[in-house]
Amino acid sequence: MAGRSGVIAGMTILGSFGRQETLTHTPKGEIAKSIGSSFFRGENCNFNPYLKDHHSPDFLERFLLRGWMPDEPSIDRDTRITAFGSCFAENITNHLRGIGYTTSKDRAPDIYLSSMGEGLVNVHSLLGQLEWALEGVEPPDGLWHGYKAEQYGATETVRTRTRSALLDTQFFIITLGLSEVWYDEQTGGVFWRAVPVEHYDPGRHRFRVCSMAETKAALLRIHELVRRHVPDAKLLFTLSPVPLAATFRPVGCISANSASKAILRAALDEMLREAGPCLNRDLFYWPSYEIITDLFFSRYEQDGRHPHRPIIQFIMRLFEAVHCRSGTSLREMTELYQQTRKANAELALR
């Protein structure tokens, strides 16, 4: 029988378990959804999209961005931005620089957050830079290495420059990368990335997977440091969709990567759920991970790690529409999404 809000009751048979009543519910602007009627669903019930929902003119706001949008964009060309974290941070930095926005790579190109910002792939390396620069916490020796295994020193000159760049920041963008870390058992310190071959010491260097609890604690500490030292700045977290290149666990890389990303995403979500009124005002989440893993058919290049360029461009343009005062509208982005998704589907069939 017909009910309120377009709900129609029906019946479906679940094998030997008997009958389960189902409801057909048609939220405004969506394809009709079939749901079980057995449980109360509370004040919020946001459905997963059916395939036809992707063609809706408000698909992005309804299914992807709901709950994660600011009241209005806050970044303009005078906003001082600092973006760092895993390699996906470089895409954000390059896009913003390309459309005339100011990033720390322009203001302070010689600090580690500029030269190695996309190589800080775990929460401990991210937190370590903030604690060192803002509160003078000296890191254990031998943990900071560049792409060619060159060692970086924690000099007072670089610390002072890093501190100045952070204190001058109005919008932080931090990209989380992975949960697998190498650490020094003697000091407890965590390497930025992995242990260079020539520095590996089997007597003290160990591998582990960060727990959700320690990940959440590090994220809370990062948020606390930003609020304490740069109280007027905004902070946005995003999770890199780039998978592990390899795992050091005795399991396949696909499942290890799933666990690595899940730890980060769950810890971040728990922190955000507890954030209170600062969420979407001073503290934000950007769903770059979900865009790539859930919205497109063919996600990565032949290496299985780097997203197809049109998807990256769509993510950057959508970020611009939501957070930047550039005049780009969400309606334009919905059209771009549908075009990109169609072209991606054709690519997947080749």
The model's pLDDT over 136-182, given as tens digits with 9 standing for 90+, comes to: 999 999 999 988 888 898 999 999 999 999 999 999 999 999 999 99
Query: Does 107 share its domain with 227?
Result: yes
Q: How many CB atoms lie within 10 A of CB 115?
A: 16
Query: Does 34 share its domain with 114?
Result: no
Query: Does 32 share its domain with 163?
Result: no
In the listed set 285, 304, 329, which residue is the last one of a domain according to the structure?
285
Q: Which residue has the tokens 């957050």?
A: 113
> pLDDT tens digits, residue range 311-334?
999 999 999 999 999 888 999 999
Question: Is residue 40 in some structural domain?
Answer: yes
Q: Which residue has the tokens 């072209």?
A: 343
Question: Is residue 148 in some structural domain?
Answer: yes
Query: Does 26 share its domain with 85?
Result: no
> pLDDT tens digits, residue range 16-52?
445 567 777 778 778 888 777 666 667 788 889 999 9
Q: What is the pLDDT of residue 28?
A: 78
Q: What is the pLDDT of residue 335?
A: 94
Q: What is the pLDDT of residue 20?
A: 63
| Long-range contacts of residues 3-10, Cβ cutoff 8 Å, at least 24 apart | 6/32, 9/37, 10/34
When mean pLDDT is compared over 4-8, 111-115, 122-126, 346-350, the highest value belongs to 122-126
Q: Quick one: how many helices (H) and strands (E) in the chain?
A: 11, 10
Query: Does 33 share its domain with 151?
Result: no
Percent of the chain with pLDDT over 70: 93
Burial degree of 58 (CB within 10 A; 0-12, 13-18, 19+): middle
Q: What is the pLDDT of residue 237?
A: 97
User: Number of C-alpha atoms within 13 angstroms, CB side, residue 161?
Assistant: 15
Please list, residue by residue across 220-250, b when 16 or more beta carbons sit within 10 angstroms of its beta carbon and e when fewer do: bebbebbeebbeebbbbbbbbbbbbeebebe
Query: Does 123 share its domain with 218?
Result: yes
Going by DSSP bridges, is the β-strand pair 19-25/33-36 parallel, antiparallel, or unpaired?
A: antiparallel
Rounded to 5°, the CA angle 37-39-41 comes to 100
Query: Does 27 share its domain with 84?
Result: no
Phi, psi angle pair for 151, to nearest 5°: -90, 135
- For residues 310 and 343, the answer to whether their CB atoms sit within 8 Å is yes
In the chain, alpha helices (H):
59, 88-98, 104-107, 112-115, 123-135, 156-167, 212-229, 253-273, 288-295, 309-323, 330-348
> Residue 187 corresponds to which tokens in the numbers above?
């000091």
Q: What is the pLDDT of residue 40?
A: 66
User: Maximum CA pair distance of the chain?
Assistant: 74
Question: Is residue 340 in some structural domain?
Answer: no
Bridge partners (DSSP) of residue 182 are 207
Q: Residue 133 is which amino acid?
A: A
Q: What is the pLDDT of residue 19?
A: 59
Question: Is residue 329 in some structural domain?
Answer: no
Radius of gyration of the chain (CA): 22
d(CA 173, CA 85): 8
In the listed set 234, 266, 285, which residue is the last one of a domain according to the structure?
285
- For residues 345 and 297, the answer to whether their CB atoms sit within 8 Å is yes
Q: Which of 123, 144, 292 is nearest to 223 (CA)?
A: 123
* Domain of residue 84, residue span: 80-90+102-169+176-285
Q: What is the pLDDT of residue 253?
A: 97
Query: Does 194 share its domain with 257?
Result: yes
Bridge partners (DSSP) of residue 77 are none
Query: Does 85 share its domain with 194?
Result: yes
Question: Is residue 56 in some structural domain?
Answer: no
Burial degree of 297 (CB within 10 A; 0-12, 13-18, 19+): exposed
Question: Is residue 347 in some structural domain?
Answer: no
Sign for the pseudo-dihedral over CA of 46, 48, 50, 54 = positive
Query: Does 26 share its domain with 108?
Result: no
- For residues 308 and 257, the answer to whether their CB atoms sit within 8 Å is no
Q: What is the pLDDT of residue 4?
A: 39
> Helix, strand or coil for residue 209?
strand
Question: Is residue 95 in some structural domain?
Answer: no
In the listed set 239, 259, 285, which residue is the last one of a domain according to the structure?
285
Query: Does 40 share its domain with 148?
Result: no
Q: How many domains, the chain?
A: 2
Question: Is residue 349 in some structural domain?
Answer: no
Q: What is the pLDDT of residue 55?
A: 92
> Residue 210 corresponds to which tokens in the numbers above?
């960060």
Query: Does 180 share its domain with 252?
Result: yes
